[in-house]
Amino acid sequence: MKKKATEKNELKKSELKLFEKLLRDEKYKLLKNLSSLERSSLAEENTKLGEGNPEDISDFAETGTEAFDIEIALSIASNEFQQLQEIEEALKRIKNGTYGICEMCKKAIPKKRLEIIPYARFCVVCQSEYEKEQERENFR
């Protein structure tokens, strides 16, 4: 019996490390964004400028976005939160060795795609399938 490693993504250790770094950087950026969003919506309710970055908050006020819609802030936050979760999942996949493998067809996701979307769960073909699926769900 011959064992073929076709189901495994042929990412080198060094490449995995690189993607892990990309993911961590992205995660850090998102966390920073999320916490500044949180702070600015807090500033809406409460003008007490405590610790942290008071400049960020006054920026919001100066640009006349006083009525900065909390709903918008929340929807941005939830998008970023979702992305954050995708990143967490990708980091887990790096740990358990399934990173870079399409969750649907189990084929390797092209490196080029991972470079653009390091937390991609599907290859391009499956991604569009998945999106169609999601759309159908929304129409229900």
Q: Is 101 in the site for Zn ion (CB under 5 A)?
A: no
User: Closest approach of Cβ 125 to Zn ion, in Å?
Assistant: 5
23 binds Zn ion (CB under 5 A): no
Would you say 36 and 56 are in contact if contact means Cβ atoms under 8 Å apart?
Answer: yes
Q: Residue 108 interacts with Zn ion (CB under 5 A)? A: no
CA atoms of 136 and 140, how far apart (whole Å): 7
| Total number of residues that touch Zn ion (CB under 5 A) | 5
Which segment (30-38, 77-85, 101-109, 131-139) binds Zn ion by CB under 5 A? 101-109
Radius of gyration of the chain (CA): 20
Tell whether residue 105 is a contact of Zn ion (CB under 5 A): yes
Question: Nearer to Zn ion by C-beta: 18 or 121?
Answer: 121
Q: How far apart are CA 89 and CA 41, in angstroms?
A: 28
* 120 scored as a contact of Zn ion (CB under 5 A): no
Only segment of 36-44, 58-66, 87-95, 96-104 that touches Zn ion (CB under 5 A): 96-104
Give 74 or 121: the residue with its C-beta nearer to Zn ion: 121
Partners of residue 108 on adjacent β-strands: 101
Calpha distance 107→126 (Å, rounded): 10
The residues of the shown chain that bind Zn ion, judged by CB under 5 A, are 102, 104-105, 123, 126
